[in-house]
Structure 1
Amino acid sequence: MRRVCAGYDIDFEAFWVRRETNAFTLQREMMKRGERVPYDDCVVLEQLAEQHTLGLVSSNQHATVKEMLTQFGLADLFETVYGRTPTVEGFVRTKPETHYVEQAMADLGTVEGVYVGDSACDVQAAHAAGLDAVFIRRSHREEYTLPEEPAHEIHTLASLPTIPGIASSV
């Protein structure tokens, strides 16, 4: 992005601020219009939160993550929540980097846990942070190739409580 901005004589720092503002605004409006909604299997999160301590780490902007959790009534289910800061440094620290995962683990006072996600960077971040990875192979990920093997693979969050050995440690 720096090269493209330089090629068009655009101030990169100003561009980045505008980009981040536009991204947040667009996603907030998509949520309000019902174009961006949680997956149906997120209903299991309430059950999981009753039995386990949950944290959330996203590569999306922190403000967007908080907006989504609030708008869809999920905010009280997580003990700690991290999205990236709307800076270049925050972007660089996203998964598969472990910066935000490690912050969440510190908040939760643990070095053990299970990381559940639906992308290769989730599996890589889990492994790099010393966590078991559970990969959700959602319908849009059927042909998706993972560079590393997760400890478990499921097709829906609803299956998470049924995984032997994980149900008691989620």
Structure 2
Amino acid sequence: MTLDHDYDFWLLDLDGTLVDVEWSYTRGVFDRVGDRLGREFSDRQAEIIWNGLTGSRDRQLEAWGVDPDAFWTAFHEEEDPIERAERTYLHEDAAVVGDLEVPVGLVTHCQEFLTEPVLDHLDIHDWFDARLCCTEETGWKPDPTPVERVMNDLGVGHNGHRGVLAGDGACDVGAAWNAGLDAIHVERVGHEQRGRCVLGDHRVTSFDELY
């Protein structure tokens, strides 16, 4: 990669950046969550929450009159780690991440009970020298805390090392900048579908554009 030599380390988001899941799986989860909560979620609403298209998922749920705590409790209970892993695919252009010759970390909002089976199924565990699945304790992107924790695990804290974080959401860009890193926004869904344009130090639709 042409940017490989420009950075001492890389951090990456997972869902929507390196991998995605088949739509039928997403639709099924939202159908079951809707049954639990006594309401329906349209395809567009499911897409917005799954991809975080409008920023804070909790604020978006509240705007729809849905209690975030009740939603996420139902959501995580309806997710099947094995089925999700089997229905998850790696973006072809993301394979270059496995060739990076600098420390690489993963910072994802995907919960550990889902992340680990996905990494196992896709055989990409060894891509990452450190991993963190965000929780209420660690904080959520764009909070820089989870990013800085992974940087410390990699041994590249704020000590002059130049790093970059690549992700598909505005929260990834915000977390990168808040942690003093460059940001790559990987636009997988398209600006029109997202409803806005996300800025970044680099803006691409594929990692291939970074060659």
Normalising by structure 1, we get a TM-score of 0.70
Say which structure, 1 or 2, has more relative contact order (CA 8 Å, 6+ apart).
Answer: 2
Partner of 1:80 in structure 2?
Answer: 130
Matching residue's letter, 1:142: H
Moved over 4 A (4+): 15-18
Taking the TM superposition and a 5 Å limit, the aligned residue runs for 1:72-151 are 72-85=122-135, 89-90=136-137, 93-110=139-156, 111=158, 112-138=162-188, 140-143=189-192, 144=194, 145-146=196-197, 149-151=199-201
From 61, 82, 91, the equivalent of 1:39 is 91
Partner of 1:55 in structure 2?
Answer: 105
Contact 1:84 1:93 in 2 (8 A): yes
In structure 1, list runs of 5 or more residues that go unmatched. 5-11, 163-170
Matching residue's letter, 2:109: S
Shift of 1:117: 0.6
Matching residue's letter, 1:105: M
Normalising by structure 2, we get a TM-score of 0.58
C-alpha distance in 1 between matches for 2:133 and 2:94: 18
Contact 1:120 1:146 in 2 (8 A): no
C-alpha distance in 1 between matches for 2:102 and 2:209: 15
Contact 1:55 1:80 in 2 (8 A): yes
Answer with 63-72 or 125-134: which moved more: 63-72
Shift of 1:28: 3.2
SS at structure 1 position matched to 2:165 = strand
In structure 2, list runs of 5 or more residues that go unmatched. 1-57, 63-68
Q: How many equivalent residue pairs?
A: 139
Among all aligned residue pairs of Structure 1 and Structure 2, give the percentage whose two residues are the same amino acid: 29
C-alpha distance in 2 between matches for 1:19 and 1:77: 31
